[in-house]
Amino acid sequence: MAKEKMNTAANKNTLRRQFRNSRRALSTAQQQANATSISQHLIRGNLLLRCKRIGVFMAADGEPDTLPIIGRLWAMNKVVGLPVIRDIGETLEFFSFDPGMNLVPGRFDIPVPPDEATYLPLLSLDLLLAPLVAFDAHGTRLGMGGGYYDRTLGPLHRALRPKLIGLAHEVQRSEAPLPRSANDVPLHAVITETGLHTFSPVRD
């Protein structure tokens, strides 16, 4: 069993390197075009119906830029929350990111809301837009390896979790099934520059 876990971890690390290199290889122009398309697909879809509070991430390492999305959400009077990591190995906490607010450096040098931002309980979020390294046709999400989203969402019953929507470039799509452990939380859908891609519910 221990050897099997080690092999799975090694396989995930190999896949992470492969797909991170793929998204980093995109030109600045392609990155910007993809971010615009992803924002348009999100706004035009039905995902935001009845959604008031939406968790979003700040892009890093070639992830799709979420600033176009955040601007559109503000224009729609949605509440935007950004994740904050207090300590390594802990869960994510979400705080409001309001128009005109100056972000401050957080862990891993990712911008986060300042101390005066409003805390948003996880169960108050209607939708959670998440980064990923790779995804497959079954809704499996391969993250950076920290396990923050899985640790945060895993303890909640599937019916109580905010919908988990991945944002990615098409080059992050894996044609082969990705390894999934029992603790990995599956995606409801992924939005890429080509559109919204939904997955069948997965029992857990």
CATH of the domain at 43: 3.40.50.10420
Q: Domain for residue 159, yes or no?
A: yes
Q: Domain for residue 22, yes or no?
A: yes
Q: Domain for residue 170, yes or no?
A: yes
> What DSSP string describes 76-135?
TTPEEEEEEE-STT--EEEEE--TTPPPEE-GGG-EE--TTSPEE-GGG-SEEEE--SEE
| 141-148 contacts at long range (C-beta below 8 A, 24 or more positions apart) | 141/166, 141/184, 141/185, 141/186, 141/187, 142/12, 142/15, 142/16, 142/19, 142/174, 142/178, 142/179, 144/16, 144/61, 145/12, 145/13, 145/16, 146/88, 147/183, 148/83, 148/85, 148/90, 148/91, 148/92
Q: What is the pLDDT of residues 133-167, one digit of tens each?
A: 999 999 999 999 999 999 999 999 888 999 999 99
Tokens of 76: 């729609």
Q: Domain for residue 52, yes or no?
A: yes
Q: Domain for residue 85, yes or no?
A: yes
| 49-53 contacts at long range (C-beta below 8 A, 24 or more positions apart) | 50/126, 51/78, 51/126, 51/127, 52/78, 52/79, 52/126, 53/78, 53/79, 53/81, 53/120, 53/124, 53/125, 53/126, 53/127
Q: Domain for residue 203, yes or no?
A: no
Its pTM stands at: 0.92
Q: What share of the chain is helix, strand, coil (3-state, %, to 5)?
A: 30, 20, 50
Q: Domain for residue 146, yes or no?
A: yes
Q: What is the DSSP letter of 173?
A: B
Q: How confident is the model at residue 7 (pLDDT cuts 50, 70, 90)?
A: low
Average pLDDT of the residues in 118-139: 97
Q: How confident is the model at residue 3 (pLDDT cuts 50, 70, 90)?
A: very low
The domain tally of the chain equals 1
Average pLDDT of the residues in 105-110: 92
Provide the β-strand partners of residue 88.
none
Domain that holds residue 185: 2-198
Q: Domain for residue 204, yes or no?
A: no
